[in-house]
């Protein structure tokens, strides 16, 4: 397994994948778990629960400010019952506005406040990422991971390293299928895919001229 953390993580991971054709491309992944954990934390904070009470948030796309933190399919445990995050919060404007930008820009906000990057939370996210590859995801839960987009069911162009919701079993990931994508999500998912395609083009131009 090859896990890429250094930014631009998605495009660096794709470049590594292309540079090592003897390693199966499914063995490459990049870290979007830090964003995933941040999204869970924001929801938990808003509802006064712990992050462990929130599951199935999704980070779509690039580990950048175009990423799309999506809670359309997320659940939260409230008063012993599992409910949808949209139903629990009843604040669509926050979920479609401030929540998204907070998660997108959290890394920059930490650097601005500390004058250093978020080393410990990144380390925790790497541990989470590796643990789930090794031991699998719990039944009924999925996590976010940057993986090769080939053959995905969500209309993301092939040959990009894009973050999807995945389940993991026997050290093999599988993109979660059958999730409904509304127009709001579609637009956000396409925007981050466009950025990744542009990054890929720039990186490969540089590599071919090196």
Does the active-site annotation cover 73?
A: no
Listed in sequence order, the residues at least 6 apart from 16 whose beta carbon sits closer than 8 Å to its beta carbon are 2, 4, 28
Q: Is the dihedral of CA 6, 43, 41, 37 positive or negative?
A: negative
Structure tokens at 193: 């895919």
Tallying the residues shown for the chain, one arrives at 210
Structure tokens at 105: 């820009």
DSSP letters, 18-62, are HH-TTS-GGGEEE--HHHHHHHHHHHHHHHTS-GGGEE--EEEB-
Q: Is the dihedral of CA 77, 80, 83, 89 positive or negative?
A: negative
Structure tokens at 169: 């079993």
First to last CA, the chain: 27
CA 52 → CA 1, 112, 181, distances in Å? Answer: 27, 28, 25
* Residue 152 · residue 177 · CB < 8 Å: no
> What is the set of active-site residues?
63
């Amino acid at each position: 397994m090859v896990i890429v953390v250094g930014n631009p993580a998605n495009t660096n991971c794709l470049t590594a994948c292309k540079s090592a054709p003897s390693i199966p491309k499914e063995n490459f992944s990049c870290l979007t778990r830090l964003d995933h954990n941040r999204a869970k934390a924001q929801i938990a904070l808003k509802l006064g629960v712990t992050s462990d009470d929130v599951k199935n948030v999704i980070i779509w796309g690039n580990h950048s400010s175009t990423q799309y933190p999506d809670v359309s399919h997320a659940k939260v445990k409230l008063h012993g019952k599992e409910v949808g995050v949209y139903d629990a919060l009843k604040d669509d404007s926050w979920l479609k506005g401030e929540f998204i930008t907070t998660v997108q820009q959290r890394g920059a906000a930490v650097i601005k406040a500390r004058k250093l990057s978020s080393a410990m939370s990144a380390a925790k996210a790497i541990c989470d990422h590796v643990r789930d590859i090794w031991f699998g995801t719990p039944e009924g839960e999925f996590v976010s991971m940057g993986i090769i987009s080939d053959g995905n069911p969500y209309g993301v162009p092939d040959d990009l390293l894009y973050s999807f919701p995945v389940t993991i079993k026997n050290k093999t990931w599988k993109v979660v299928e059958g999730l409904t994508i509304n127009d709001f999500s579609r637009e956000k998912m396409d925007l981050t895919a466009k950025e990744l395609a542009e990054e890929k083009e720039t990186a490969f131009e540089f590599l071919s001229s090196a």
